Structure 1
């Protein structure tokens, strides 16, 4: 997914906890969220709080769907509330998702078909 597709996907599924989210969807939304919050903080403190509140639910849902992609329950995102253990959540978010179908549904990105060298 490109950045625009990832961000729009998160807003379309802003309250959808079911299903799976690809790494690109999660990380592009994360970059968008941080950038938007920094810009809002530069404008005014109230703008920062409003943007943070507006992006909270989409961030939580994409995090839950990202964990679903690696076969974990969305409740595992609570581990990020513990300072050092939050690094585990980052590692899981960066991990490649399960191929094919898992307990939470089909893969968000179909596997890329590999072409044998020399074959057209």
Structure 2
């Protein structure tokens, strides 16, 4: 997934807390968020605050989908409230995607489930 596709996907799925997000999708979105916050912070602190509030849901959603990708519940984000939990989340966010399907969906790029295909489809 490239930079623009990742950002577009995250903004389109801004309240979609189900499914999975690849490592590249998460980190490209985080990079875009960081760059935009730096630029808007230089322009206006008020604009930066409004933008941060506006991107709160997409950020939480992509982080939840990223945790789903490694087989963890999105509720694990609450561990960041402890302070030290941020480091655990960072460790999980850099982990490679789980190659097999899990309770949150199929792995990205995985072939579709044969049982879900109509008869005669390959």
Report the TM-score, using the length of structure 1 for normalisation: 0.88
Q: Which residues in structure 2 correspond to 1:95-114 (within 5 Å)? A: 95-110=95-110
Correspondence for 1:33: 33
Number of residues paired by the alignment?
111
Structure-to-structure mapping, 1:6-85, within 5 angstroms: 6-85=6-85
C-alpha deviation, 1:109, in angstroms: 3.8
TM-score normalized with structure 2 length: 0.87
CA RMSD in angstroms, aligned pairs only: 1.2
Question: Residue 36 of structure 1: CA displacement?
Answer: 0.6
Distance 2:60 2:85 in 1: 18
Extract unaligned runs of 5+ from structure 1. Answer: 112-120
Please list every run of 5 or more consecutive structure 2 residues that lacks an aligned counterpart in the other structure.
Answer: 112-122
Secondary structure of 2:55's match?
Answer: helix
Q: Give, in whole Å, the separation in 1 of the partners of 2:72 and 2:15.
A: 19
**Which runs of 4 or more aligned residues in structure 1 lie more than 4 Å from their structure 2 counterparts after TM superposition?**
none
Inter-partner Cα distance in structure 2 for 1:81 and 1:60 = 14
**How far, CA to CA, are the matches of 1:109 and 1:34 in structure 2?**
28
Report deviation, 1:81: 2.1
**CA offsets per residue over residues 22-61 of structure 1, 9 Å max, x none?**
0000000001111111111101111011110111110000
Q: Which residue number in structure 1 is paired with residue 4 of structure 2?
A: 4
**Alpha-carbon distance in 1 for matches of 2:23, 2:5:** 13
